[in-house]
Amino acid sequence: MQRLTYIYLTTYLLVGGLALLVLPELTLRLLLSNGSYGDVMPRVVGIFMIALGGVILQFVRARDYRYYR
């Protein structure tokens, strides 16, 4: 169950981050956002999500589940 949870979180972060990085306007529209964030903020958030997803992916690859309570 731990591995499945980490894989779900990794997939969510990587796909969401990549979508925010490549197509920020479409992604924000799909997320039902009605604010105007410009070009920079969604892309910075996308980069952060990709980096965080990469770190969690390394936990899954190493089978290191000690951070899961």
Token pair 């796909």 is at which residue?
15
pTM passes above 0.75: yes
Residue 15 within any structural domain of the chain: yes
Task: Confirm whether 69 is domain-assigned.
Answer: no
The DSSP symbol for 29 reads H
Nearest to 11 by CA among 68, 54, 65: 54
Is residue 68 assigned to a domain? no
Residue-wise pLDDT tens for the chain (69 aa)? 777 888 888 999 999 999 999 988 888 888 898 888 888 898 999 999 999 999 988 888 888 777 766
Instruction: Please give the torsion angle defined by the CA atoms of residues 4, 62, 54 and 67, in that order, rounded to the nearest 10 degrees.
Output: 70
Full residue range of the structural domain in which residue 31 is found:
2-62
* 50 belongs to a structural domain: yes
CA trace torsion 50, 55, 8, 43 (10° rounding): -10
